[in-house]
Chains A and B, each alone.
Chain A
Amino acid sequence: MSEQDRFDDLLRSALGRVEPPAGLEGRILRAAGLRHRTPRGAWLRAVAMVLIVLAAAALGLLWRQERARAERAEQARRQLEFALQLTYDRLVKAERQANSIGVRKIRFEEVPQ
């Protein structure tokens, strides 16, 4: 066998089709499947993120409701104060008018009619 023939044989054997070992395909597919599966930690992180967002949204809603309630209470407070002030002004004015005609003190008693 010449040098050329040996080289040809070597080349043929190197380039020839080699059957894979038994079970290689299955092992490769299993490995790929494991790689694509989400790790448990990632799931937990996602759930935690969702919970944080939900909690923040709930807190924001509560804060807005509380602020609206406080605004309504403040408006009501100012209205009541205004009503009380006006009532008081009128009572004082009535008392002054009564004083001007000689009544020393208005006794707030029911007058039979």
Chain B
Amino acid sequence: MRILWYVALGAPLSLAAQGIDWSVLDKLAEKAKESAVVNLGPEQLSLLAGARGKGEEAKLGELAKLLKSVQVRNFEFEAPGMYDVELVRSLRDKVKAGGEWVSIVSVKEKDGFTEILIKKPSGEKTGGLLVIAAEPKEVSVVHVEGVADLSALGRLGGLAGIPEVAPAGKKAPAPAKEKPKQE
């Protein structure tokens, strides 16, 4: 079993406070063919925020200044049915039931779903973006804390192989699927 672990060394994030029970997802890692885990806290993001340079590096630095934390769980399985999609669905329902997160895109399929949720900033609480996607052979959950709305994602254009945001009426080209290098 090939496992990709992208685990940052930063301070543990107060996951419970964010209403996302990551332990549910971490159980899936045992059955996964490939796993990718990212935990970026303020310390790691500040390293990027201080990056000097031009182009992509500078853009990434600017984005990192806005973000508070980034967490990713991505699991790929050998075959369909190797994980319980209900587990992921219950995670989504629990997050939505918390009331903080608002679903902006919800795509239901026969054997999976994709849910995109945002959390509006209020008071001292920062905004956030949460993507939960369950496919027959893949589960992805991305939590980005610090983005107030999806317009912030427009800043991703040109980063990490993501095309620039296409002008109105023009469709942005499909992204080049690229896996991170194995460590």
Q: Which residues of A contact B (CB under 8 A)?
A: 69, 72-73, 75-94, 97-98, 106, 108-111, 113
Contacts and interface: CB of A to CB of B under 8 A. Distances in A.
Contacts of B159: 81, 84
13 contacts: A69-B47, A73-B47, A76-B8, A76-B48, A80-B64, A85-B161, A85-B162, A86-B140, A87-B131, A88-B160, A90-B133, A97-B107, A110-B104
A92 B175 contact: yes
Interface residues of B, number: 51
A86 B72 contact: yes
A91 B40 contact: no
B44 A72 contact: yes
Contacts of B107: 94, 97-98
B81 to A, nearest CB: 20
Contacts of B40: 76, 79-80, 83
Q: Which 7 A-B pairs have the closest CB atoms?
A: A81-B160, A76-B44, A73-B47, A108-B150, A79-B38, A97-B107, A82-B180
B60 to A, nearest CB: 6
Contact of B114 (A85, A90, A111): A90
Interface of B: 6, 8-9, 36, 38, 40, 44-45, 47-48, 50-51, 57, 60, 63-64, 70-72, 74, 102-105, 107, 109, 114, 116, 118, 120, 129, 131, 133, 140, 142, 144, 149-150, 153, 156, 159-162, 172, 174-175, 177-178, 180-181
Nearest to A110: B102
Contacts of A72: 9, 44, 47
